[in-house]
Amino acid sequence: MRSLRRPRVLLLGPARSAVSGVSTHLNQLFESELPEHFDLLQFQIGSEGRTHGRLRTLLRLIAGPFAFAACLIRSNPRIVHLNTSLVPKAYWRDIVFLALAKAMGRKVIYQVHGGALPAEFFAGNRVLTALLRHVLTWPDMVVLLALAEMAAYGRFAPRARLVRIANAVAVCEADLPAERYIVNRPLRVVYIGRLDADKGIFEIIEAIKILRDRGTVVRLTIAGFGPARSKITCAIEADRLGDRTSLLGAVFGSAKQQLWKEADVFAFPTYREGLPYALLEAMAGGAVPVISPVGAMPDVVQDGVQGLFVSAREPQALANALERLANDRPLLYRLAVAARARIVEHYSVARMAKEFDSVYASLAD
């Protein structure tokens, strides 16, 4: 039986069983110490975790605001925590939930999980840009992931109330054995995430081809699902990389943890990003990040300290970075140890829960 003494918080986001960073975020909040102080509930929005056809999806979009209003009346939360991203589909859908929650007198946290920066979102359209600037003043708190986002949102909407709360992962503090990295074997590179072109997957495949042509053997494992899967398969076949590349489906739980434990490098030359859980999980698991410095990732990784930066859309640069690590195993090991330490010290779930506890408490008064 739920306690009536704890302030009630209604979290909006995808199904907790879905494969998405926001689902991971919701699960961490529900499984943290927050429920000891707040009564957490969820109202599901978004398509992740659903298998509906187009008609049922349309009906859900139409009925969603009415179901949300009924949920607000029935559960009577003090705070609505809306998890969204600055992409067109999520923005237009979630602006309705934001307006409803405010109209019904609820405190609202508007958490942005990546997407475009606000000044770029409606570039060239003054009316919609002005609307976005106004919308960002509606929430009682806008939660962002990155220092760069804090600066960009602050310039764009000076009246918005902003706070940065970075993502987090669970991690043990066990030492990494040096023999895992300093051995005479091919470098093991892993990509785990959504299979989409803008994640830099085709640049990774091209980098593996470049290294093959140089005579450097690197093993690549790609795990995930998404719209680019068939094109990825074709690219691997066209470049004759089947002996160096494995394409898996989505991996979860212990299978994912085992991949990280076997990986030397997490390759992620994405074009745009917030703060991907895959990066934090990789570093916690001992995989050195070779990433593009976008979104909140430079907040986590220092180039040459916990990982290596490469520019997006430049497979030659990625190939050079991977070759460097393949040929310098002591460097690989030093980066892995520093990456793990960075996560343990600054990106724990306990830290994230404490920061949300403070935000919730400030709005519940």
Domain ranges of the chain: 8-168+348-364, 178-346
Residue pLDDT tens, the chain, 365 long: 444 579 999 999 999 988 788 999 999 999 999 999 999 999 999 765 555 666 666 776 788 999 999 999 999 999 999 999 999 999 999 999 999 999 999 999 999 998 899 999 999 899 999 999 999 999 999 999 999 999 999 999 999 999 999 999 987 767 899 999 988 899 999 999 999 999 999 999 999 999 999 999 999 999 998 999 999 999 999 999 999 999 999 998 899 999 999 999 999 999 988 889 999 999 999 999 999 999 899 999 999 999 999 999 999 999 999 999 999 999 999 999 999 999 999 999 999 999 999 999 999 98
Q: List, as one string, the DSSP characters of 37-91.
A: TSEEEEEE-SSTT----HHHHHHHHHHHHHHHHHHHHHH--SEEEEEEEESHHHH
CATH assignment of 178-346, among 3.40.50.1110, 2.40.10.10, 3.40.50.2000, 3.30.450.20: 3.40.50.2000
CA-based nearest residue to 342, from 295, 281, 312, 300: 300
In CATH, the architecture of 8-168+348-364 is: 3-Layer(aba) Sandwich (3.40)
Distance CA 333, CA 261 (A): 13
Position 214: which residue type? Answer: R
| Same-fold call for 8-168+348-364 versus 178-346 | yes
Which residues does residue 143 pair with via DSSP β-bridges, in sequence order?
111, 163
C-beta of residue 281 within 8 angstroms of C-beta of residue 168: no
